[in-house]
């Protein structure tokens, strides 16, 4: 059966990861488009494309679906450039982190065959070197259809989302931008602000960053994102971000008031509310699983320790859906987290490992 042709314009983290996932299915002929010859070379070496080209107009000829995976600031230029080279039946979609402005403009260019999309996955590392074939596995893929969206175009995108292991999640463009201003854009702004503040303090107290342990690194991780990409995100969602910042400042002011007034009961109540709300977030953020069941295993620091643990579970037919090294003391040992899709599998894993004398506990 003839493979469907998919064109991906822009082979950064999202575009290249998408290409890897689609090539792996064996169902698509993936044309990767990028201006950088080295990126195209790496894409070929990592199987992120079937064929590559630097010419976006040539790349989209005969494509069933075109993904615009360039930075937000480039999307409209690329769209104008390719509009006369795509077939009337070609579905056009994007992977931009904001949707309102993009959907409005690209529906003007491509009409009903444009479908807005935003995979809720990524990396703090920019470019193809941060790409991962499994980036979309169990990830939410936000799709933002409008009353103009053609049902066949929507179905085409849904099929691809399913093929790469993600789960379609539907929002209007405005709902999307309102929500991500809080859960994505504000956190980045805060991480940047905190990092800049710590850097300023470190200029006079060099030991500051030496004391920036796990919690600080976790909070500021997204500040490592590429500045030009985030500049475009802020520019395209400025109104929602401004509104979110103002509301956040009010919450921060109330916390300050608690400290100034030594109102420890109110402070404790705020902390408890935050703790309860935090518990509602799915543990596996990239996933769309109703729950994840975990065990924590203590292993010695020597080659093959993790393989020994996973081997025991593999022989029992117990599937691990996620694994993470939590802490390590070099030359001594460490702890690893194993996650399972069901409580029954977690219990089986617990008993299987204990039978082998391995220190393990449920989380």
Residues 128-161 as b or e (16 or more Cβ within 10 Å = b): bebbbbebbebbbbbbbbbeebbeebbebbeebb
Quick one: what percent of the chain has pLDDT higher than 70? 95
Q: Answer whether 0.75 is exceeded by the pTM.
A: yes
- Collapsing DSSP to helix, strand or coil, 327 comes out as strand
The answer to which of 47-51, 120-124, 260-264, 308-312 has the lowest mean pLDDT is 120-124
Question: What is the average pLDDT across 199-217?
Answer: 85
Residue 41 has pLDDT above 50, yes or no: yes
Q: What is the pLDDT of residues 82-91, one digit of tens each?
A: 999 999 999 9
The pLDDT, as a whole number, for residue 288 is 35
- Convert the pLDDT of each residue in 147-198 to its tens digit: 999 999 999 999 999 999 899 999 999 999 999 999 999 999 999 999 999 9
The pLDDT of 86-108, averaged and rounded, is 96
Q: Is the pLDDT of residue 19 over 60?
A: yes
Residue (of 239, 10, 236) closest to 105 by Cα position? 236
What mean pLDDT is reported for the chain?
90
Q: Which of 139, 175, 145 is nearest to 157 (CA)?
A: 145
Q: Characterize the bridge pairing of strands 333-340 and 293-300.
A: antiparallel
DSSP one-letter code for 209? G
**pLDDT of res. 127:** 85
pLDDT of amino acid 353: 94
Cα dihedral 191/193/195/198 (nearest 10)? -140
For each of the domains in the chain, give its residue range(s) and CATH number, in order of start. 4-172 (3.40.50.720), 176-279 (1.10.3660.10), 293-362 (3.30.70.260)
């Amino acid at each position: 059966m003839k493979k469907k042709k998919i064109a991906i314009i822009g082979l950064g983290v999202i575009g290249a990861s998408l290409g890897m996932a689609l090539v792996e299915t064996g169902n698509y002929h993936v044309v990767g488009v990028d201006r950088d010859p080295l990126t195209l070379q790496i894409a070929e070496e990592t199987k992120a494309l079937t064929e590559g080209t630097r010419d976006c107009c040539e790349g989209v000829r005969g494509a069933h679906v075109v993904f615009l995976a360039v930075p937000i600031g480039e999307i409209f230029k690329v769209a104008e450039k390719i509009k006369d080279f795509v077939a009337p039946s070609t579905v056009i979609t994007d992977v931009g982190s904001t949707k309102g402005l993009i959907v409005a403009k690209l529906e003007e260019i491509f009409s009903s065959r444009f479908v807005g999309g935003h995979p809720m996955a990524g990396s703090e590392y920019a470019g193809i070197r941060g790409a991962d074939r499994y980036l979309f596995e169990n990830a939410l893929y936000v799709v933002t259809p409008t009353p103009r969206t053609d049902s066949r175009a929507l179905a085409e995108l849904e099929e691809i989302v399913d093929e790469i292991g993600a789960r379609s999640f539907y929002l209007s463009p405005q709902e999307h931008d309102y929500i991500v201003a809080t859960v994505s854009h504000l956190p980045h702004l805060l991480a940047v602000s905190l990092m800049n503040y710590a850097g300023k303090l470190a200029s006079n107290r060099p030991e500051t960053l030496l004391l920036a342990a796990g919690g600080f690194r976790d909070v500021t991780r997204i500040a490592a994102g590429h500045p030009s990409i985030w500049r475009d995100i802020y520019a395209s969602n400025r109104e929602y971000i401004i509104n979110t910042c103002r509301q956040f400042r009010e919450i921060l002011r109330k916390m300050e008031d608690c400290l100034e007034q030594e109102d420890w009961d109110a402070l404790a109540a705020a902390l408890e509310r935050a703790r309860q709300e935090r518990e509602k977030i799915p543990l596996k953020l990239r996933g769309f699983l109703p729950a994840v069941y975990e065990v924590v295993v203590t292993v010695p620091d020597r080659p093959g320790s993790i393989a020994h643990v996973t081997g025991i579970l593999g022989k029992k037919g117990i599937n691990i859906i996620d694994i993470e090294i939590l802490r390590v003391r070099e030359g001594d040992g460490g702890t690893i987290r194993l996650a399972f899709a069901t409580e029954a599998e977690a219990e089986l894993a617990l008993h299987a490992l204990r039978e082998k004398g391995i220190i393990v506990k449920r989380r």
